[in-house]
Chain A
Amino acid sequence: MGITSKHNRYCGKGRFWQLLAVAFVCALIATACGNDSETGGTTDTTPDTTSTSSAEPDPTPALSGTIGFIKGPHSAMEAEFQEQIIADFKAQVAPDVNVNFSTYDWPVHVAELTTLFASGSPPDVQYLVDLIYPSFAEEGVLHDMTDLVNDPSWAQERSKISPFAWDLAEQQGGTWGVPVLGAVYNIFINETLLEEAGVLDSWDDSYASMLAAAKSLTTDEVYGFASRTSAADFAWWDWYPYIHNAGGDVLSQDWSECGLVGQDVVDAMQFLIDIHTAGVTPAIGSVDNQGLFDLFAAGRIAILHHETPNIVSLNENPPDFDWSVAAAPPGPQGNTVMGNFGILGIAEASDNKEAAWEFIKHWASAPQVGRFAEQVSLQVVRTDIINDLFADNEAMRKVQTELVPRVQGLQPHPQILEALQAAWPVVENAFRGNLTGEEAIAQMCAAIDGVLAG
């Protein structure tokens, strides 16, 4: 009896599991049928749409839908500034297109963008700097915009963007975005201190005069000179002009090997080591990016390598000294300025590339990019609006008119960031006085060649 009753109970349990299994199988079948019908629907619809559009082409198709736009912040009010551009876009170009704006964090933007692209549904439009976009282009996640930017209807606008900016956006046989903004790495000088030391007119005549000026300016309270020194602060921006002025670059002209060659490059490196070991700078690695600028704004650094967006800060909170912007002194083979540039690209995975392209054209148009550049103190690469910008901002006018034309940007190689990060600890070590210029250049080249070798 016991066994029988148990048997019956097990049969009841068995019934339960059978019903559950049947329900599960039914659910699977239903799901599979649903997917099939959806897939089938898509497959069926797509050719219809294509055939319809080819049979009855609409010359001015109404744009609609939602596109995503992501950008690193250039201001604490970035979202507000972007909303202005987006509002104008809706009002003037595409009323039925919604633009979702979001920002990435600069210190981790490569990781954020990698994750977004890997997700398969990245924002349609991205603001990408020349340091990182080549690796994304190489991976095939950016849309080649060659046909779009060469559209005859946009030719006039295209011609207003500087050729050197297009050179930075056209790599690996494609065009990966529309150049819109530039960030020049300038020098801030405390004119009051320099005048008091009697070096205001001579400090930037040569490297030697800059070192001498830094020494004469240094006191218990003031550092004569400072530049960024850590990779976390992208310190290579401040290092680049001296190397460019010596005729060198990270990569050779054909990008096949290290380009830090020649005695002038070694001498430039030695000068940078000398100025960092002369006791005229804050202790190496002791002050971060923002800290350096804060020290300058407090009158405690006389000559500071930094970035133009800080001009906004100095204009809004004027320090109690006169200041100005400048470039590094001339070297034996040039008098360049470092700058890096941002392009607006389209994700290959975007399913609304038409709207994305319209938005990029709108963003890159003179009124929009000009207004934004003024709002955040960045430089434009359009030649037609240079004279109209920064009318009330003397420092920015100087940057835009005197420094931007001298810009020599970086080499947009897919591994340029990795090469710089691999080589930079050598520079940090050298700035601590542990290496000569010759040793530093040799070790940097070994690191760079190691990256290129894969």
Chain B
Amino acid sequence: MNEIRSATSTPQLTLSLEEHRRLRKRYRRRTTLTAYAFLSPNLVVFVAFLLIPVVWLFVSTFRTKGVLGPAEFVGLDNWRDTFTSPLVQTSIRNTVVYSAMAIPAVFVIAMVLALALNAIPRGGAPTRVALYVPTLQPAVVAAFIFTFVLHPDFGVFNFALRGLGRDPINFLGDTSLALPTIAGIEVWRGTGFWTMMFLASLTALPNELYHAAELDGAGAIRRFVRMTLPLLRPTFYFAVIFATIVNLQLFDSVFALTDGGPVNSTITVSLYIYRSLFAFGDIGFGAALSFLLVITVLLLTGLQTFLLRERK
């Protein structure tokens, strides 16, 4: 109060405490409004294209129909079907099995390649380009490429097998091989991306620590286990969560290569959601399944966050 009065030289301009509070409140309100005004373009998009659809989708889980005709309230029927349908269980199992195959495989391969690229003194750039090219392939292109590689009749791989006197392998038509094959194709597509990600993190690690460790007699494996892996924890944290989210939503490769077959051995949650929503018009069931996927992703992300958190 005294400071305020001392800051004002003329009695006419002196503000009472009440006036000051009012002006300060107005100032804060205007500042807040200004901030919201600048945020509003993004906020409008967020609300219009994410929040409202998500809320609408959640409401749809308690309804049937609603896209082409009027919606009907069905209570928890869609949720009950989601938990009791054998095909839902199959699609969840396939999705989890696929993720369990693809994520560790792509991380191990990418880490090995990143370590190798980090170590080689020359030729890194063309190798990096070559590694990254598969990542640039759309899933449909990758599907065509692997059709010509794996096809039992005219695929290059099976052609070679026949040349060696072996029987051709029906990779995508065999119920036990189709899902691992798709996982392999996705690993092929993803290796370049994760290699670059790990390589970027490796090059950012402080060399001094490694020199010191080397002088202390730590071998390459010990340095990798005791230094590299702990130092890459933030990268792994991002990688595991990102890869989990992406892989649990596997759709395009399955859609292009097997359409969920053979015998539903490659049907994934996303593909089943697509069928429910667009092929069968079962909006409520598809919405419930979508939410189940979102909840699963959130739970797994939370679990991973807990497991990968920094420990003091």
In the complex, which of the residues B23, B151, B259, B275 contacts A286, with contact meaning CB atoms closer than 8 Å? Answer: B151
Q: Are A1 and B68 in contact (CB under 8 A)?
A: no
In A135-154, the 8 Å CB interface with B consists of 135-136, 138-141
Q: A111-B279, A139-B65 are in contact. Are A1 and B153 (CB under 8 A)?
A: no
In the complex, which of the residues B27, B153, B275 contacts A282, with contact meaning CB atoms closer than 8 Å? Answer: B153
| A417 on the B face (CB < 8 A) | yes
Binds B, one of A7-15, A318-326, A366-374, A379-387: A7-15
Q: A232-B261, A286-B153 are in contact. Are A114 and B26 (CB under 8 A)?
A: no
Q: Are A295 and B30 in contact (CB under 8 A)?
A: no
In B183-229, the 8 Å CB interface with A consists of none
Residue of chain A at shortest CB distance from B4: A3
Q: How far is the CB of A184 from chain B (nearest CB, A)?
A: 25
Q: Are B262 and A1 in contact (CB under 8 A)?
A: no
| A87 on the B face (CB < 8 A) | no
| A376→B67 CA distance, assembly (Å) | 34
Q: How far is the CB of A117 from chain B (nearest CB, A)?
A: 5
- Chain B residue numbers with a CB within 8 Å of A415 are 280
- Chain A residue numbers with a CB within 8 Å of B175 are 429, 432
| A425 on the B face (CB < 8 A) | yes
Q: How far is the CB of A390 from chain B (nearest CB, A)?
A: 33
| B8 on the A face (CB < 8 A) | yes
Chain A, 1-37, contact with B by CB distance < 8 Å: what is the 0/1 string?
A: 1111001001001100100000000000000000000
Chain B, 59-87, contact with A by CB distance < 8 Å: what is the 0/1 string?
A: 00000010111000000000000000001
Residue of chain A at shortest CB distance from B158: A286
Chain A, 278-300, contact with B by CB distance < 8 Å: what is the 0/1 string?
A: 00001111110001000100000
Chain A, 247-284, contact with B by CB distance < 8 Å: what is the 0/1 string?
A: 00000000000000000000000000000000000111
Q: A114-B67, A118-B68, A285-B172 are in contact. Are A425 and B152 (CB under 8 A)?
A: no
| A79 on the B face (CB < 8 A) | no
Residue of chain B at shortest CB distance from A110: B279
- Chain A residue numbers with a CB within 8 Å of B278 are 108, 110-111, 114-115
Residue of chain A at shortest CB distance from B278: A111
How many residues of chain B get a CB closer than 8 Å to chain A's CBs? Answer: 40
Q: Are B8 and A285 in contact (CB under 8 A)?
A: no
| A377 on the B face (CB < 8 A) | no
Q: Are B68 and A421 in contact (CB under 8 A)?
A: no
In the complex, which of the residues B10, B68, B263 contacts A117, with contact meaning CB atoms closer than 8 Å? Answer: B68
- Chain A residue numbers with a CB within 8 Å of B2 are none
Residue of A232, A282, A285, A429 with highest tally of chain B CB at under 10 A:
A285
Q: Are B262 and A230 in contact (CB under 8 A)?
A: yes
Q: Are B170 and A283 in contact (CB under 8 A)?
A: yes
- Chain A residue numbers with a CB within 8 Å of B170 are 283-286
| A59→B15 CA distance, assembly (Å) | 83
Q: Are B69 and A139 in contact (CB under 8 A)?
A: yes
How many residues of chain A get a CB closer than 8 Å to chain B's CBs? Answer: 42
| A436→B194 CA distance, assembly (Å) | 47
In A106-161, the 8 Å CB interface with B consists of 108, 110-111, 114-115, 117-118, 135-136, 138-141
Q: How far is the CB of B139 from chain A (nearest CB, A)?
A: 15
Residue of chain B at shortest CB distance from A136: B68
- Chain A residue numbers with a CB within 8 Å of B35 are none
- Chain B residue numbers with a CB within 8 Å of A282 are 152-153
| B7 on the A face (CB < 8 A) | yes
- Chain B residue numbers with a CB within 8 Å of A2 are 7
- Chain A residue numbers with a CB within 8 Å of B261 are 230-232, 285, 425, 428
| A439 on the B face (CB < 8 A) | no
| A418 on the B face (CB < 8 A) | yes
Q: How far is the CB of B289 from chain A (nearest CB, A)?
A: 15
Q: Are B262 and A285 in contact (CB under 8 A)?
A: yes
| A117→B67 CA distance, assembly (Å) | 9
Q: Are A295 and B153 in contact (CB under 8 A)?
A: yes
In the complex, which of the residues A115, A117, A230 contacts B259, with contact meaning CB atoms closer than 8 Å? Answer: A230
- Chain B residue numbers with a CB within 8 Å of A13 are 30
- Chain A residue numbers with a CB within 8 Å of B153 are 282, 286-287, 291, 295
Q: How far is the CB of B285 from chain A (nearest CB, A)?
A: 10
In B79-105, the 8 Å CB interface with A consists of 87
- Chain B residue numbers with a CB within 8 Å of A17 are 30, 33
Residue of chain A at shortest CB distance from B171: A286
Q: A1-B9, A286-B152 are in contact. Are A139 and B281 (CB under 8 A)?
A: yes
Q: Can you give 27 contacting A-B residue pairs, CB < 8 Å?
A: A1-B7, A3-B4, A3-B13, A3-B15, A3-B23, A10-B27, A17-B30, A111-B279, A114-B67, A114-B278, A115-B278, A138-B69, A139-B65, A139-B69, A141-B68, A230-B259, A230-B262, A231-B261, A282-B153, A283-B173, A285-B170, A285-B262, A286-B152, A415-B280, A421-B279, A425-B263, A432-B262
The 8 closest A-B pairs by CB, nearest first: A285-B173, A111-B278, A232-B259, A139-B68, A286-B173, A285-B262, A139-B69, A283-B170
